[in-house]
Amino acid sequence: MLTTIVVLSAILSAASASASTTSLSFTGLQSLVERRIPQHASSFNFDIINGTGDSFTVSDSSSEAGGINISCTTLSACARGLYTYCTEVGNVDIWWTGSRLHEIATPLPKVGAPIHGSSIVPWRYHFNTVTFGYTTAFWSFDKWELLLDWLALRGVNLPLAWVGYEKILIDVFHEVGLTDDEIFDFLSGPAFLPWNRFGNIQSSWGGSLPMQWVTDQFNLQKNQILPRMLELGITPILPAFTGFVPRAMTTHFPNASIVNGSQWTGFPTELTNDTFLEPFDPLFAQMQKSFILKQQAAYGNITHFYTLDQYNENNPFSGNLTYLSSIGSGTIASLRQADPDATWVLQSWLFFQGEDFWSLERIQAYLGSVPNDAMLILDLYAEAYPQWSRTNSYFGKPWVWCQLHDYGGNFGMEGNLHEITHGPVDALHVENGSMVGMGLTMEGQELGNEVVYDALLDQAWSEEPMDILKYVKKRAARRYTVESLPPAVNRAWEILGSTIYNNSDPTTQVTTRSVVEMSPGMGLSDSIFFIGINFTRVPYDTNTTIVPAIHLLLNASETTPSLGNNPEFVFDVTEVSRQLLANRFLDKYNDLIAVWNSTSTTSADILTLGSSMVAILEDLDALLYTNENYLFSTWIADAKQWGKGNASYESYLEYQARNQITLWGPTAGLIDDYAGKQWAGLVGEYYLKRWETRKWGEEEGEIWGTRGDVWQIVKRIVTLWT
Ligand SMILES: *[C@@H]1O[C@H](CO)[C@@H](O)[C@H](O)[C@H]1NC(C)=O
Ligand SMILES: *[C@@H]1O[C@H](CO)[C@@H](O)[C@H](O)[C@H]1NC(C)=O
Ligand SMILES: *[C@@H]1O[C@H](CO)[C@@H](O)[C@H](O)[C@H]1NC(C)=O
Ligand SMILES: *[C@@H]1O[C@H](CO)[C@@H](O)[C@H](O)[C@H]1NC(C)=O
Ligand SMILES: *[C@@H]1O[C@H](CO)[C@@H](O)[C@H](O)[C@H]1NC(C)=O
Ligand SMILES: *[C@@H]1O[C@H](CO)[C@@H](O)[C@H](O)[C@H]1NC(C)=O
Ligand SMILES: *[C@@H]1O[C@H](CO)[C@@H](O)[C@H](O)[C@H]1NC(C)=O
Ligand SMILES: *[C@@H]1O[C@H](CO)[C@@H](O)[C@H](O)[C@H]1NC(C)=O
Ligand SMILES: *[C@@H]1O[C@H](CO)[C@@H](O)[C@H](O)[C@H]1NC(C)=O
Ligand SMILES: *[C@@H]1O[C@H](CO)[C@@H](O)[C@H](O)[C@H]1NC(C)=O
Ligand SMILES: *[C@@H]1O[C@H](CO)[C@@H](O)[C@H](O)[C@H]1NC(C)=O
Ligand SMILES: *[C@@H]1O[C@H](CO)[C@@H](O)[C@H](O)[C@H]1NC(C)=O
């Protein structure tokens, strides 16, 4: 009990200490107001007050000039105070699809009775290492800016910051004598760096990583991302030296303790079995120190948090308890001799995905060798398969309750609002528990399910579990910003909130992968890709969820035509229609398989079903083309922008972008379509062509399609498929 309290207070004081070093300047928040609500740039007054934790008070200023006063104990709390004013009083919000904060009324609405808020946890966390591949790989700063404002306003104060990692890593490799050839033989391409950082893969396909990429990413991190995080009251979690090294390390250091990691996802040995310098070797400590000092020199001493995963989908060389313990103690010793206040941040995914290896005694040997106050564990998939409960709160280590939710940036509508509102609150009150944060660890930030990400970050500021039906309706009111929201909209959200977004069955808690995105074949509706979960199962009845929701939203658009001008309303109608088509495609697929298997099948039966499937995909593609958020061409353009007009570099980047979402590797057959997307162009030109094999070889269609009228297309879909 005593140890727990000491550790928690250390972590709590770390939270306020980090704030006080960056605090007292509201320049970053004032700039945010100028960016997002320029017409009221001078109307918000911020002020730091004494107090523990993160709390704020929002009130009307009684000064002559009027305006809004926001007092807070930390910068992050002030950002949350500003957000609370915008959402609760101003009825506007900032979304992954864009900021609508500038739509707040003039004059600014009065607060009335002051509003107080406090976070229930010191840390609000964001990102999964792989989000830097599936979502942000090719982002320029304008996209980062929107997300960083989104994070700051929602009160996130501890995100990962992986961008540009390779620059310093390469410097450290040079320092120990590795050549460029040896180093670049190890690094992966821009779309695949997260798995190289995890030690899952090495080397590249389609050409080696250009130094231009490394430099551009480093500059993005150093000049834009990190300064912006700091001015918004956000403490970045920076990378460290992980121990994964080029193969040639063994030739340069024949006596060093170097082993090969395990094979990942069936990749051939030259692309996986990454070479690992063991942390108890003095060379590891030397490289760690060099890495951290170089990083401090580049970015300043801006954090004590370091992300470091050695065994993510990569089993240790030995299960010997002494061995595991020496890995843990060597790693933390290396971090602390470089930064005496270092906290090692670990994703706990290994204990779920590698459960066969990670017995409790092995977990205890590995974690137990690290002092409790030197570690922060991300319980990665807490909404479905929490690990803190089987490890007795990681034997006392501070940990963060995280929602994983999305795999590969897949699209299916899905959520577990009940668990994400109750689970963290319950875990916080467990006797002798050590939970210190809440956060989001999605593999890909998929726009259509934003509601479940909003909900967890809002729950971090509420002592009691939120009432989910009230929550989704209140959210709809500020999402659709019309004078008076038609009751049909509330009804639609009540249905979604109590069904699709309230799925409490852990075995289906993943964003559904539609068979649309899969290579045609038998048995697709029973697809278990990994972790024993059926990714293609639709765990709800479309006819009593999606169908009434779409009718209600269409009805609302008719009674309140101004809804048609609201980008988030149009997006949501498109999203629900997209899901309807994906589910109908699965129905038709199942019918086709059943017919195919039947002894009385005729070719006419097959053709009828096949034509329906083709028709659905044609409609799906046309639907997606109506909305800028669903364009495949955006992913490609984002990748190519870094080529800055150099044609061969652009085509390398385009290959990277296309490869990740399709073959995911140099050859087909391993994890094809893992990161599949229902994007306009990709559906019509790739998935449709694959399904429509009889048309293979015919002339290719337009790559970049044309934009139709969303209402015309949705009405056709509703007529045909509801
Ligand atoms: C909490 O810790 C105290 C002191 O170590 C111990 O007596 C008690 O059994 C623990 N409770 C639980 C539920 O583990
Ligand atoms: C805040 O606390 C510090 C130290 O405890 C004290 O010196 C300072 O006067 C306090 N400030 C306010 C505004 O209360
Ligand atoms: C808040 O408003 C009061 C007047 O009501 C003013 O005296 C005070 O300085 C303001 N605080 C901030 C943070 O601007
Ligand atoms: C490796 O160890 C052997 C035997 O101890 C020694 O002879 C050799 O010099 C060492 N090599 C290096 C590069 O340190
Ligand atoms: C790792 O694998 C490579 C490729 O098969 C092999 O050449 C090398 O000897 C292995 N290294 C160690 C330390 O086992
Ligand atoms: C690669 O890892 C697998 C275990 O996952 C192992 O069987 C194999 O021997 C490893 N290969 C090398 C070259 O290390
Ligand atoms: C960062 O802190 C270290 C001590 O941990 C110090 O030696 C170094 O000079 C600092 N670097 C910067 C850039 O402030
Ligand atoms: C684990 O490794 C240690 C140190 O190398 C050794 O003494 C011990 O016998 C090993 N334990 C087992 C079960 O192999
Ligand atoms: C959500 O699911 C939980 C657990 O199954 C259930 O207790 C709760 O009533 C549901 N809430 C709604 C609004 O459907
Ligand atoms: C996967 O989902 C399909 C379609 O709903 C179902 O038929 C199948 O039994 C499921 N498989 C498992 C293992 O849950
Ligand atoms: C759902 O509705 C469709 C279209 O009306 C119908 O064909 C299908 O049988 C219904 N499915 C269920 C499970 O009720
Ligand atoms: C169809 O036949 C295949 C191969 O015989 C079998 O694996 C599958 O379960 C059958 N599916 C249906 C839906 O009957």
445/133 Cα distance (integer angstroms): 11
The angle formed by the CA atoms of residues 426, 422 and 549, to the nearest 5 degrees, is 175
460 and 591 co-located in one domain = no
**Ligand 12 atom closest to residue 596's alpha carbon, by position in its atom list:** 1
Coil, helix or strand for 642?
A: coil
Coil, helix or strand for 680?
A: strand
pLDDT value at residue 12:
45
Structure tokens at 76: 């992050």
Q: From 186, 250, 264, give the residue whose CB has the most ligand 5 atoms within 8 Å, as the site to mutate.
A: 250
> For the stretch 18-44, what's the b/e string if a residue is b when 16 or more beta carbons lie within 10 angstroms of its beta carbon?
bbeebbeebebbbebbeebbeebeebb
325 and 346 co-located in one domain = yes
| Bridge pairing between strands 238-239 and 55-60 | unpaired
The angle formed by the CA atoms of residues 346, 347 and 352, to the nearest 5 degrees, is 130
- Domain-embedded: residue 315: yes
Q: Is the CB of 1 under 6 A from ligand 1?
A: yes
482/150 Cα distance (integer angstroms): 22
Give the number of residues written for the chain.
722
Cβ proximity of 635 and 657 under 8 Å? yes
Starting at the edge strand found earlier in the chain, the sheet holding 275-277 runs: 244-245, 275-277, 258-260
Cross-strand pairs, 125: 158, 439
Of 293, 445, 312, nearest to 377 (Cα)? 312
Residue of the CA atom closest to atom 6 of ligand 1? 1
Which positions ≥6 away from 347 have C-beta within 8 Å? 128, 129, 307, 309, 312, 378, 380, 441
pTM for the model: 0.94
Q: Domain with 205 in it: what CATH number? A: 3.20.20.80
Q: How far is the CA of 363 from the centre of ligand 1 (A)?
A: 20
405 and 529 co-located in one domain = no
Q: Determine the distance from the C-alpha atom of residue 65 to the mean position of all C-alpha atoms in its chain, rounded to a whole number.
A: 41
528 DSSP 8-state letter? B
Cross-strand pairs, 48: 72
> What's the number of domains the chain is made of?
3
Cross-strand pairs, 244: 276
Cβ proximity of 245 and 275 under 8 Å? yes
111 and 153 co-located in one domain = no
Q: How far is the CA of 510 from the centre of ligand 10 (A)?
A: 14
Return the HEC string of 345-380: EEECHHHHHCCCCCCHHHHHHHHHCCCHHHEEEEEC
- Domain-embedded: residue 549: no
Q: From 29, 69, 71, 85, give the residue whose CB has the most ligand 3 atoms within 8 Å, as the site to mutate.
A: 69
Q: How far is the CA of 500 from the centre of ligand 9 (A)?
A: 11
Structure tokens at 639: 């990748």
Q: How far is CA 469 from CA 93, 417, 483, 568, in A?
A: 19, 10, 21, 19
312 and 361 co-located in one domain = yes
Q: Is the CB of 429 under 6 A from ligand 1?
A: no
Q: Is the CB of 346 under 6 A from ligand 9?
A: no
648 and 595 co-located in one domain = yes
Domain containing 653: what range?
504-539+566-721
98 and 135 co-located in one domain = no
Ligand lying nearest the CA atom of residue 597: 12
Structure tokens at 535: 């990714």
316/274 Cα distance (integer angstroms): 12
368/348 Cα distance (integer angstroms): 14
Of 235, 296, 293, 341, nearest to 20 (Cα)? 235
pLDDT value at residue 601:
81
The C-alpha R_g of the chain, in whole angstroms, comes to 26
Q: What is the biggest distance separating any 2 CA atoms in the chain, rounded to whole angstroms?
A: 84
Q: Containing H/E element for 437?
A: strand 435-440
Residue of the CA atom closest to atom 5 of ligand 11? 722
Ligand lying nearest the CA atom of residue 325: 8
Cross-strand pairs, 640: none
Cβ proximity of 101 and 148 under 8 Å? no
Residue of the CA atom closest to atom 3 of ligand 10? 526
pLDDT value at residue 705:
58
Q: CA 587, 593, 596, 597: dihedral to nearest 10 degrees?
A: -130
Q: Is the CB of 507 under 6 A from ligand 8?
A: no
91 and 209 co-located in one domain = no
Coil, helix or strand for 707?
A: coil
**E runs forming strands in 227-277:** 238-239, 244-245, 258-260, 275-277
Q: Is the CB of 432 under 6 A from ligand 1?
A: yes
Residue of the CA atom closest to atom 5 of ligand 5? 269
Q: How far is the CA of 16 from the centre of ligand 2 (A)?
A: 14
- The pocket around ligand 5, CB under 6 angstroms, is made up of 250, 258-260, 269, 273
pLDDT value at residue 164:
98
565/72 Cα distance (integer angstroms): 36
Residue of the CA atom closest to atom 4 of ligand 3? 62
**Ligand 8 atom closest to residue 321's alpha carbon, by position in its atom list:** 1
> For the stretch 700-710, what's the b/e string if a residue is b when 16 or more beta carbons lie within 10 angstroms of its beta carbon?
eeeeebeeeeb
Task: From 90, 118, 146, give the residue that closes a domain.
Answer: 118
Of 376, 379, 455, 470, nearest to 420 (Cα)? 455
Q: Is the CB of 27 under 6 A from ligand 12?
A: no
Task: From 439, 466, 493, give the residue that closes a domain.
Answer: 466
Residue of the CA atom closest to atom 12 of ligand 11? 543
Q: Is the CB of 668 under 6 A from ligand 12?
A: no
Structure tokens at 676: 């599949």
- Domain-embedded: residue 586: yes
Q: Containing H/E element for 141?
A: helix 141-154
Ligand lying nearest the CA atom of residue 357: 6
- Domain-embedded: residue 558: no
Q: Is the CB of 289 under 6 A from ligand 9?
A: no
Cross-strand pairs, 94: 99
Q: Is the CB of 594 under 6 A from ligand 12?
A: yes
**Ligand 10 atom closest to residue 534's alpha carbon, by position in its atom list:** 1
Handedness of CA 123, 124, 129, 132 (dihedral sign): negative
- The pocket around ligand 6, CB under 6 angstroms, is made up of 260, 262-263, 269, 273
Cβ proximity of 718 and 551 under 8 Å? yes
Cβ proximity of 546 and 581 under 8 Å? no
Q: Where are the alpha helices (DSSP H) in 402-545?
A: 417-428, 450-459, 468-480, 487-498
159 and 109 co-located in one domain = no
**Ligand 4 atom closest to residue 253's alpha carbon, by position in its atom list:** 13
Residue of the CA atom closest to atom 11 of ligand 8? 320
533 and 434 co-located in one domain = no
224 DSSP 8-state letter? I
Q: Give the pLDDT confidence of 450-465 residue by residue, as tens digits.
A: 999 999 999 999 999 9
Of 535, 315, 365, 372, nearest to 443 (Cα)? 535
Q: Domain with 698 in it: what CATH number? A: 1.20.120.670
- Domain-embedded: residue 473: no
Q: Determine the distance from the C-alpha atom of residue 132 to the mean position of all C-alpha atoms in its chain, rounded to a whole number.
A: 8
Q: From 201, 202, 203, 269, give the residue whose CB has the most ligand 6 atoms within 8 Å, as the site to mutate.
A: 269
- Domain-embedded: residue 16: no
264 and 322 co-located in one domain = yes
213/456 Cα distance (integer angstroms): 34
210 and 340 co-located in one domain = yes
User: What number of other Cβ atoms are within 10 A of residue 634's Cβ?
Assistant: 16
Q: How far is the CA of 166 from the centre of ligand 1 (A)?
A: 45
Cβ proximity of 433 and 128 under 8 Å? no
Q: From 259, 317, 320, 369, give the residue whose CB has the most ligand 8 atoms within 8 Å, as the site to mutate.
A: 320
Structure tokens at 395: 């034997």
The angle formed by the CA atoms of residues 47, 49 and 50, to the nearest 5 degrees, is 160
Task: From 118, 145, 175, give the residue that closes a domain.
Answer: 118
Q: How far is the CA of 41 from the centre of ligand 7 (A)?
A: 36
Q: Containing H/E element for 401?
A: strand 399-403
**Ligand 12 atom closest to residue 594's alpha carbon, by position in its atom list:** 13
Q: Domain with 88 in it: what CATH number? A: 3.30.379.10
Q: Give the pLDDT confidence of 423-456 residue by residue, as tens digits.
A: 999 999 999 999 999 999 999 999 999 999 999 9
Backbone angles phi, psi at 508, to 5 degrees: -120, 15
Q: Containing H/E element for 660?
A: helix 647-661
Q: Give the pLDDT confidence of 134-157 residue by residue, as tens digits.
A: 999 999 999 999 999 999 999 999
Q: How far is the CA of 362 from the centre of ligand 8 (A)?
A: 13
Residue of the CA atom closest to atom 5 of ligand 7? 339
**E runs forming strands in 91-132:** 94-95, 98-99, 115-118, 123-126
100/94 Cα distance (integer angstroms): 6
Q: From 295, 296, 299, 304, give the residue whose CB has the most ligand 7 atoms within 8 Å, as the site to mutate.
A: 296
Q: From 527, 531, 537, give the residue whose CB has the most ligand 10 atoms within 8 Å, as the site to mutate.
A: 537
Residues of the chain falling short of pLDDT 50: 1-10, 12-23, 694-704
Cβ proximity of 54 and 461 under 8 Å? no
Return the HEC string of 292-305: HHHHHHHHCCCCCE
- Domain-embedded: residue 559: no
Q: Containing H/E element for 283?
A: helix 282-299
180/115 Cα distance (integer angstroms): 57
- Domain-embedded: residue 17: no
Residue of the CA atom closest to atom 1 of ligand 7? 301
Q: Containing H/E element for 76?
A: helix 75-84
